[in-house]
Amino acid sequence: MRASWRRLTEGLEIQQLWGQFISETKASYRLYSADVDWDEVSRGRTRFRRLWRSVKAVFMAMLMKLSPSRRVLLLIAIVLLVINVQFGEGPSAVAIDTSVLGVLILFLLLALELADRVTMKRDLEIAREIQEWLVPSQPPIFPGVDIAFATRPQNTVAGDYYDAFPRPQSLSRAPEAAPLLMAVADVAGKSVPAALLMATFQASLRALAATPATLGDIVTGLDRYCRAHSLEGRRFTTAFLAEIDGKTLEMTYVNAGHNDPILRRASGAIERLSVGGPPFGLPLFSDAENLYPTGRVRLSAGDVLIIFTDGVVEAVDDSGTEFGEARLLACIYGAPAQSAREMLQRIIGEVNAFAGFARQHDDITCLLLRVDAPGSASVSA
């Protein structure tokens, strides 16, 4: 019994199971209630009538999520659960309890929905494997810096993208000091649509980075591509791109509507990297070549750069309170001089502890770069 219980609960305690159930229930309610016209439900009726119409509206929202045949089966099952069928009259009458049949129909509906879920999950798992091929599994080895990154999709696949790779040495005047290109991007939306656009963004960035184009040229090319595939701006992309000179550790960057990365100097001073322009793909601007000025900073030993997507600071707890940039800054201020991997694990751990059992509602991605002593090279998983 103990082994069966552990297998059933995957080792979770009762408190953890209850917290997970509450979180899933709240998320499901938000999904169904989004289809309810609450103004119509509450207009000009007594409290009891509002309650009744609220329950009815949520039930109809749930019902309409099913296919037509399953809607009919569900209604039949509910009817069978609440009535008894009687054949004949008088002493010879036979009453049949139809609740068992109703339960069997509900079980059948559950089996059908689970089969759909398993099939969809299998397809999403394959999509996730493909998406994992598009991002680095290990940070690059680059002289003078220690890099780590972490990502967790809101669903099986994500619209977040991160990358860090040396540009081809043949493009550098000094091949031994080829520049390092870093990118963190966030496609508007979630799940499969955002993941597909993320894949095309990755392909475009890699193709442009393989040419002699400057960082400004790469940014302009990405914006043009995103405009052509943004569905009139509904699928825009925020991004932060940076290029680090391998000899001087001077960093050139462009912030395209992204959360301002945090640069913590060795002295403890905080700088925000905000130079750039609007998100990629917005059709409101026409002069793309002048939209994205580049910023420059020189990195020094002991500096730490944190590039993150909005899923980090917008992570919420059970009460709906956001993690926020204030907590992130406090975490960065208090971080000891550790490796990039340890510092990143500390930040993600703080976010996870804050969110608790609340369901993640956005993709979470963070890339952390720590500058080592000149001439050294580190890598973190």
Give me the DSSP letters along 136-201: -SSPPPEETEEEEEEEE-SSSS-SEEEEEEEPPGGGSSSGGGPPEEEEEEEESS-HHHHHHHHHHH
Q: Which residues are CB-neighbours of 170 under 8 A, at least 6 positions away?
A: none
Structure tokens of 196? 């597909």
Buried b (16+ CB within 10 A) or exposed e, 102-125: beebbeebeeeeeeeeeeeeeebe
Q: Distance between CA 280 and CA 274 in Å, rounded?
A: 15
Q: What is the pLDDT, as a whole number, of residue 50?
A: 80
Q: What is the pLDDT, as a whole number, of residue 367?
A: 95
Q: Distance between CA 215 and CA 173 in Å, rounded?
A: 15
Q: Distance between CA 165 and CA 139 in Å, rounded?
A: 8
Q: What is the pLDDT, as a whole number, of residue 381?
A: 47
Q: Is there a contact between 251 and 296 (Cβ–Cβ < 8 Å)?
A: yes
Q: What is the pLDDT, as a whole number, of residue 375?
A: 42
Per-residue pLDDT 10s for the chain (381 aa) are 888 888 888 777 887 778 778 877 877 887 888 888 888 777 756 777 788 888 888 889 888 888 999 999 999 998 888 876 655 555 655 566 788 888 899 999 999 988 888 887 887 787 778 777 888 888 888 888 999 999 888 777 778 899 999 987 655 555 456 899 999 999 887 777 788 888 888 999 999 999 888 999 999 999 988 888 766 656 789 999 999 998 889 999 999 999 999 999 988 899 999 999 999 888 766 555 678 999 999 999 999 999 999 989 988 887 888 999 999 988 887 766 778 999 999 999 999 888 887 777 788 899 999 998 554 444 444
The number of beta carbons lying within 10 Å of the beta carbon of residue 172 is 17
Q: Distance between CA 38 and CA 316 in Å, rounded?
A: 24
Looking at residue 44, the DSSP 8-state letter turns out to be T
The number of beta carbons lying within 10 Å of the beta carbon of residue 366 is 23
Q: Which residues are CB-neighbours of 54 under 8 A, at least 6 positions away?
A: 36, 38, 41
Cα angle 9, 14, 16 (rounded to 5 degrees) comes to: 80
Q: What is the pLDDT, as a whole number, of residue 379?
A: 44
Domains of the chain: 2-128 (no CATH), 136-378 (3.60.40.10)
**Where do runs of H (alpha helix) occur along the chain?**
2-9, 14-33, 38-42, 47-63, 68-82, 99-134, 191-209, 215-228, 310-313, 324-333, 340-355
Cα torsion for 240, 297, 371, 168, to the nearest 10°? 60
